[in-house]
Structure 1
Amino acid sequence: MSAVRVDVTLSDGATLAVTRWPGEGPAVVLLHAGVADRRSWTAVADELAGEGLDLVAYDRRGFGESPAHAEGSEATHLGDLVEVIDRLDVGRAVVVGNSMGGALALDLALTEPTRVAAVLLIGAAVSGMTDDDTPFDWTPDPATGPLMEALDEASGSGDVDAQVGLLAHLWLDGPTSDVGRVTGAPRELFARMNERILEVDAADDAGDAGLDAWTRLGAVEAPVLATWGALDIPADEPFYAETARRIGQGPGRVLPGVAHLPGLEQPALVADLVREVVHGRAV
């Protein structure tokens, strides 16, 4: 089925940009990373075309074509997600979350379990994640540390081109890989998405629901498959593994040859993961 634009106007009057690939089969909600927007799922949806799935991807507030939170707004990304599901009559869905989208998927699974059939995590953050209760600390590795320092410097000087380039090396290529490992259309799309994110410049905590999912992961009822890229930030990998351990549904899965945004560089790989979770073969 071809993509259809089905924007959703929320109860506070804000309108979120939504793309739907309608189908008669299971519903799948695709939640983008904090360095992406809904366009990061287009190639994955194209790989799944013709399989009857009802796919939904939308821009959270402050990303892509969705407006940022209005001044004084108390809206949360979690509340927005519930409204999108309800207004599109999605029903019980498989929820796929990359990075910050993964944190949102887990928030939904904990607070609205009847809406979630299963969860696929890809390099997922977790609300309330900390190293205070782990045997390991988050310490940047020799490849990541200089990139983050350079990114801070570029941000302070307002150099958008430098910021986008450094973000691409960090999240798309992976910090331990050569800059420019991922080329062509995926890199161009990454740049466009992040130019928009930097233009909006939303506060880091905008839309935060204030949940502590990190200490409640064992309470997630839906089947969960936790995955992460082998080329992702090394310091983050113990947290991905710890997330899988706390959920207790398997050791997690390392995806070879990809970094933090597998859907951009290997959409067929991510489409296969979606198929596994939808059809109950992975979890």
Structure 2
Amino acid sequence: MTLITVASGRAQLAAEATGHGGAVLMIHAGVTDRTSWDSLVARLGDGFRTVRFDARGYGETAYETEDGWSPVADALAVLDACEPGAAVVIGCSMGGRTALDLTLAHPDRVSALVLIAPAVSGAPAPVLAPRVAELDQLIDAADADGDVDEVNRLEAIVWLDGPERPGRASHTAREHFLAMNGVALRAADPGEQSEPGDAWTRLGDIAVPTLVIVGDLDLEHIRRYALHVAASIPNSTFLELRDVAHLPHLEAHDGALDAVAGFLAAR
């Protein structure tokens, strides 16, 4: 493993690269950090050069507040530092949105996509299911009270367990989630991002092979987004996993790890 720091604007992005072979860039969700990919990196072994980094506001990345910064520019800076050509890009949730926007902005740098419960720039605003709306109100109340630990606990139910299955995930996965998200919840504001993309209406322009994964316990609107993405990208495969929610790789879900490894091996 090689630890590196990549400059991008007013940020020093904490990144690491492992293994040899074809490059794979991993972009984490908005409630985790680069260590959420540990199980997938271990599953892939040394046959790929895996590159992962902490986004601004997460993990070990240092940054100053900067309006107009771009998640795509940050991801591209990491890719430039580690791989001069094209890479497979894997993104989860927020990282999936960045992966899609990166692919549309720089199609020559992406050879394939893996999207796990992806957010999508330009997507319609979600209508929350009653249980999710209830949890969202509890999170807002805890945030207003300054109770970061309670916010973290509730967000673990939403994003790790799945809103209908509180307490489902393992102790190991929960402790890892709480540690990562605890840092993010206490982080300084990185500033306003640049104007978001509009991947929702441009998914048909993506030509690379794409694997879309979602858990059956994830939020309903995220499952709908995943289905729309898979139906709209011409060369895509859709996989719904059972008994897992938003972060199957964090839970070392065998179905997710095997599917990604098989997809990469076929490239």
TM-score by length of 1: 0.88
Q: Does 1:231 align with 2:217?
A: yes
Is the CA contact (8 Å cut-off) linking 1:45 and 1:271 kept in structure 2? no
Q: Does 1:55 align with 2:55?
A: no
| Alignment correspondent of 2:108 | 114
CA-atom RMSD in angstroms: 1.9
Distance in 1 between the 2:12 and 2:124 partners? 33
**Structural mapping, 1:265-276, within 5 Å:** 265-276=251-262
Is the CA contact (8 Å cut-off) linking 1:119 and 1:277 kept in structure 2? no
Alpha-carbon distance, 1:273 to partner: 2.4
| Alignment correspondent of 1:135 | none
| Alignment correspondent of 2:79 | 85
Distance in 2 between the 1:19 and 1:230 partners? 31
Is the CA contact (8 Å cut-off) linking 2:65 and 2:189 kept in structure 1? no
Alignment CA distance shift 1:206-1:222 (3 Å) = farther
| Alignment correspondent of 2:242 | 256
Distance in 2 between the 1:43 and 1:90 partners? 26
Is the CA contact (8 Å cut-off) linking 1:47 and 1:267 kept in structure 2? no
State which drifts further: 147-156 or 235-244.
235-244
Alignment CA distance shift 1:156-1:111 (3 Å) = same
Alpha-carbon distance, 1:213 to partner: 1.0
Distance in 2 between the 1:37 and 1:194 partners? 8
Structure 1 unmatched ranges of 5 or more: 132-137
Q: Percent identity?
A: 37
Is the CA contact (8 Å cut-off) linking 1:14 and 1:67 kept in structure 2? yes
Is the CA contact (8 Å cut-off) linking 2:211 and 2:236 kept in structure 1? yes
Alpha-carbon distance, 1:210 to partner: 2.1
Q: Does 1:277 align with 2:260?
A: no
Distance in 2 between the 1:38 and 1:274 partners? 17
**Structural mapping, 1:137-176, within 5 Å:** 138-176=126-164
Distance in 2 between the 1:252 and 1:213 partners? 18
Is the CA contact (8 Å cut-off) linking 1:8 and 1:84 kept in structure 2? yes
Distance in 2 between the 1:265 and 1:221 partners? 30
Alpha-carbon distance, 1:251 to partner: 6.1
Alpha-carbon distance, 1:100 to partner: 0.6
Alpha-carbon distance, 1:67 to partner: 2.5
Structure 2 unmatched ranges of 5 or more: none
Distance in 2 between the 1:29 and 1:181 partners? 29
Partner deviation per Cα, 1:170-226 (whole Å, 9 max, x = no partner): 00000011x2211222111100111111111536x7434421111111001211111
| Alignment correspondent of 2:180 | 193
Distance in 1 between the 2:109 and 2:168 partners? 38
| Alignment correspondent of 2:14 | 17
1:258 is paired with a residue whose SS is: coil
Alpha-carbon distance, 1:250 to partner: 4.3
2:6 to 8, 14, 27: 8
Give, as a single letter, the amino acid of the residue that structure 2 aligns with 1:238: R
Larger % of strand: which?
2
Partner deviation per Cα, 1:223-258 (whole Å, 9 max, x = no partner): 111111111012322222112112133462211111
Partner deviation per Cα, 1:118-150 (whole Å, 9 max, x = no partner): 00000000111115xxxxxx3222321211111
Distance in 1 between the 2:84 and 2:181 partners? 29
Distance in 1 between the 2:188 and 2:136 partners? 18
Give, as a single letter, the amino acid of the residue that structure 2 aligns with 1:32: H
Distance in 2 between the 1:163 and 1:210 partners? 26
